[in-house]
Amino acid sequence: MFLNVLIFCASFIPVLFAAPVTHSKAGVFHGRHLPEFDQDLYLGIKYAPKPVRFSPATLVGDAPTTDFNASSYGLDCTGYGSDTNTLVTGGWTKMGEDCLHLNIVKPKTNETGLPILLWIYGGGWQQGATSDPRYNLSYIVQQSAEMNKHMIGISINYRMAAFGFINGAAVKASGTQNLGLRDQRLALQWVNRHISSFGGDPSKVTIWGESAGAYSVGDHLNAYHGDSQGLFRAAILESGNSVGAPLNATYWYQPMYDNLTASVGCSHAANTLQCLRDVPYEKIAPYGNQGLEWFHVLDGDIITQPGQTALRNGNFAKVPVIIGTNTDEGFGVNGVNTNAQALEQLTHSKRWNLTHAQAERILELYPDDPTLGAPYGWGNRTWPQNGLQYKRYTGIATDLTMYAPRRLMAEEFSRFAGLVYSYRWDAPKFNNTPSNIGVNHFSEIPFVFGNTEQQITPLGNSTENLRLSRLVMRMWVSFAHGLDPNGHAVSDTVVWPKYKDSVSNFVFRADRSYIEADTDRMEGVAYINTLVR
């Protein structure tokens, strides 16, 4: 039995804190008390046993009399690497396939029926972990306690790269696509079944993610023709949406599958997929990424139609949402110098896959004028080392990837559901440098998690940064608690209107946040939103 843990306070005087214990149908969980936040943590709770590789996981069975140590994180699911020597040097000792677990952060309170804010990490569906200290939920849960709007924070692990999103003809035939999304759905089912034992309300779950995590949230909004199955009542999407990456890219995935089979000696097997299942983990793990990207696909089950189609037809869960992007999201598009290269990128990039006519139209709508391109707000300044048409193509990439789908989702959710709040994040990373300029992808993460640890996600000692962090955390808490981000009790803050009442964005800035009309790049964005990808 795990009766207590020894904690040392700042003065190095040993103090005994009673370890929290929760009895549930899933088991008896012995957690860990965090005195500096006055929170109880339950870490590394398995929601599924170790799955058969490249197969759907199953919900863990009930074990109401079994004791579980829930005082530390479990294995991470990042089961691949670019350096195979990490397997030899022990760099993967905390990674593996038995990694489907979740973590619960609960404020110390006698209240029950607490709302849930459930985090799904990003990382391109290729990397990420709940144990990443940048995703420490203690700070935002602490804000909920200070606001007297107590909530529970949950983070979930899921399989990634080939282990979570493998695809190809053999995978399609076996019906085992989108395994990472299925993992996430299974975690939501565990929460729905068991969170009341921890003082939570299963009917008050807000799913929340950034980047691939936000795209995952979008997939759950569209899943099963919009049937939430009672697993969530609201959603927050940071730098991601319900449109996402290309869904039909057979030309993309089959070569990756073939490369994977060749890398581990399965190319000539009678059943290549079974061969991949039988290969020792240490042999296959280094090749899980294949140097490319495994994404979600149309599988006829979870995802039955492209995101644009689901939005236009109203085939999504009609729940309140917060959705937004950062000002300059067009990452990874360096090296474009000429119109010909821009056309080549747009028509041959696996990320865009546009026709020649579509690409030409986009170049007409986004002229090679540095004053119009991204990073925005820099006038004529250019970064030729990144490409002579860097600002033009970054602007195009920002809108194709994030900005246009965000507007489409805000419009269609407003039309069918009504309760939508849209934002633009315009506060740069604290460590902004000339080589990493602009309000780019991931810029908001240090703020929304409020982590003040200088070596992790430094907000610095800036009063403005800390005030903005407090504001956004409290808005997220207010939304999770009462479906309205305005109940944050932060003075001198403008009211955030619903998108259907005011077609606008809340602009988060460190100096002073404000409301702007959502009218930037109207013609280009409207055209992009006609392209079903």
pLDDT score of 88 more than 50 = no
Terminal Cα-to-Cα distance of the chain (whole angstroms)? 54
Q: Which residue has the higher pLDDT, 46 or 533?
A: 46
Tell me the average pLDDT across 466-480. Answer: 97
Closest to 520 in 3D by CA, of 347, 325, 244 = 325
How far is 94 from 98, CA to CA, in rounded Å?
10
User: Angle at CA 519, nearest 5°, toward 513 and 524?
Assistant: 130
Q: Which residues of 509-530 are buried (b: 16+ CB within 10 A; e: fewer)?
A: bbeebeeeebeebeebbebbbe
Question: What pLDDT, on the 0 to 100 scale, is given for residue 11?
Answer: 34
Percentage of the chain modeled with pLDDT above 90: 78
pLDDT of residue 129: 93
Question: Would you state the structure tokens that stand for residue 493, as one six-digit string?
Answer: 């803050």
**Range 375-379 contact pairs with CB under 8 angstroms and sequence separation of 24 or more:** 375/327, 375/328, 375/437, 375/438, 375/439, 375/440, 376/327, 376/328, 376/438, 377/327, 378/437, 378/438
pLDDT at residue 92 tops 90: no
**Higher pLDDT, residue 418 or 526:** 526
Report pLDDT for 21: 98
**What's the confidence (pLDDT) of residue 164?**
95
Question: Which pLDDT belongs to residue 262?
Answer: 97
Q: What is the pLDDT of residue 3?
A: 34
Tell me the domains of the chain and their CATH numbers: 1-214+242-306 (3.40.50.1820)
Is the distance from CB of 140 to CB of 476 less than 8 angstroms?
yes
Confidence band of 336 (pLDDT split at 50, 70, 90): very high
The pLDDT tens digits for 295-314 are: 899 999 999 999 999 999 99
Pairing status of strand 39-46 against strand 101-107: antiparallel
Compare 246 and 332 and report the one with higher pLDDT.
Answer: 332
Task: Give me the pLDDT at residue 456, please.
Answer: 72
| Model pLDDT, residue 40 | 98
Q: What is the pTM of this model?
A: 0.94
> Is pLDDT above 80 for 460?
no
Residue range 347-355: mean pLDDT, rounded: 80
pLDDT for res 293 = 79
The bridge status of strand 27-30 relative to strand 32-34 is unpaired
Q: Cis bond leading into 434, ω under 30°?
A: no
Separation of alpha carbons 135 and 154, rounded Å: 11
Q: What does the pLDDT read at residue 433?
A: 54
As annotated, the active-site residues are 211, 329, 441
Q: Is the pLDDT of residue 272 over 70?
A: yes
Contact (Cβ atoms closer than 8 angstroms) between residue 107 and residue 141: yes
State the chain's maximal CA–CA distance in angstroms.
71
Put residue 230 in one of left, alpha, beta given phi > 0 → left and psi -120 to 50 → alpha: left
Q: For 401-444, how does the pLDDT look when each residue is reduced to its tens digit (9 = 90+)? A: 999 999 999 999 999 988 999 999 999 765 455 556 789 999 99
Q: Does residue 488 surpass a pLDDT of 70?
A: yes
What element of type H or E holds 105? strand 101-107
Q: Is 345 helix (H, G, I), strand (E, B) or coil?
A: helix
Is it the case that residue 390 has pLDDT exceeding 70? Answer: yes
Average pLDDT of the chain to the nearest whole number: 90
Mean pLDDT within 46-68: 98
CB atoms closer than 10 angstroms to residue 250: 12
Tens-place pLDDT, residues 108-157: 999 999 999 999 999 989 989 999 999 999 999 999 999 999 999 999 99
Looking at per-residue confidence, does 437 or 510 come out higher?
510
Average confidence (pLDDT) over 348-365: 89
Sorted by sequence, the CB contacts under 8 Å of residue 172 that are 6+ apart come out as 299
pLDDT in tens, 162-198: 999 999 999 999 999 999 999 999 999 999 999 999 9
